[in-house]
Amino acid sequence: MAGSTTLAPRASYPAQLVAVAGHALAQLARSPSHSRRAAAARTLARHSLWLGAAGATLVIVLMLAFDRTEIQLMPARGTPALWPIRILTDFGKDVNVLTALGVALVIVALVAAGTHGTRRALLLGFGTRLQYLFLSVALSVFVAEILKYLIGRGRPFVGGKADPFNFMPLDGSGAYSSLPSGHAVTAFALAFAVAALWPRLRVVMFTYAIVIVLTRLVLLAHHPSDVTAGALVGMVGAMAVRYWFAARRLAFAIRADGTIVPLPGPLPGRLKRVARGASAP
């Protein structure tokens, strides 16, 4: 028939899913291409140095002057009335946070595989931001686990007394994995990462992070210096991952002075409409 065209069949859903997953991994592994990445690297190094120096100084001061006093003021470990705090603290547990982010990534991939055009582009853009959140927490937690093993600081009252200088390097047990606090690492990495993408959420996210570290103190899981060190590791880790993304022009832009700023992202309302219409042609 004159004027008719033959449309190439669309790839199957499994093939589309593989393509979406491949795209997500390829964009992270590609070579950095941003022309201002050197300036951003210098800014990252400078900020990390200052933050690290200030944080290390504060950790030492807390160890010397405050840790012992603070843990002696807390209620006894296992106090029944603390059950709400035990529930609340789990919102900062690394496994829980990474599982939630991982599930969200899988859902986005599954939905994106059934969409095309603008819908898929929107979902992939949101997926890139979820990748940033996941990797910010994952990298920070990985570094923290290495530090815990190397430092081997005893948790409050391990050994039977309030001794903030109870160390057993390379012990590897839960009793000697107090520094840095894993919950603080997770909470502050997530808070920094979310705030980096959506600055309007800064107050909410850092309030969440502070609440999480307070639960670790009340439950006698950590010393104040532990949660301070954890906050430092989490924020520096999220900063490093942000640089990795910005250097590849993913979710972030780099200004002439090396400052990294978020790119406009998909709006939640639009994403909901995309998800509802995922099966539409």
104 vs 107: CA distance, rounded Å? 5
Question: Which residues does residue 252 pair with via DSSP β-bridges, in sequence order?
Answer: 262
Average pLDDT score over residue span 211-233: 97
CB within 8 Å of 196: residues ≥ 6 apart: 132, 238, 242, 252, 260, 262
Residue 141 has what pLDDT? 98
Average pLDDT score over residue span 25-50: 92
33 vs 93: CA distance, rounded Å? 35
Residue 259 has what pLDDT? 94
pLDDT higher for 270 or 71?
71
Is residue 4 scored above 60 in pLDDT?
Answer: no
* Of 180, 173, 196, nearest in space to 145 by CA: 180
CA distances from 22 to 128, 141, 247, 278 (A): 13, 25, 20, 20
Average pLDDT score over residue span 177-184: 97
269 vs 272: CA distance, rounded Å? 5
Structural element, H or E, at residue 87: helix 83-89
pLDDT tens-digit series, residues 74-116 = 999 889 999 999 999 999 999 999 999 999 999 999 998 888 8
Is residue 237 scored above 70 in pLDDT?
Answer: yes
* Model confidence band, residue 118 (pLDDT cutoffs 50, 70, 90): confident
Residue 115 has what pLDDT? 86
Backbone angles phi, psi at 8, to 5 degrees: -70, 135
Residue 216 has what pLDDT? 97
| CB 70 within 8 Å of CB 217 | yes
Tokens representing residue 6 in the block: 């033959």
Tokens representing residue 217 in the block: 């103190």
Burial group, residue 145, by CB count within 10 angstroms (0-12, 13-18, 19+): middle
Is residue 275 scored above 70 in pLDDT?
Answer: no
22 vs 258: CA distance, rounded Å? 30
State if pTM tops 0.75: yes
Residue 9 has what pLDDT? 54
Is residue 5 scored above 60 in pLDDT?
Answer: no
pLDDT tens-digit series, residues 134-169 = 999 999 999 999 999 999 999 999 988 889 999 999
Average pLDDT over all residues of the chain = 90
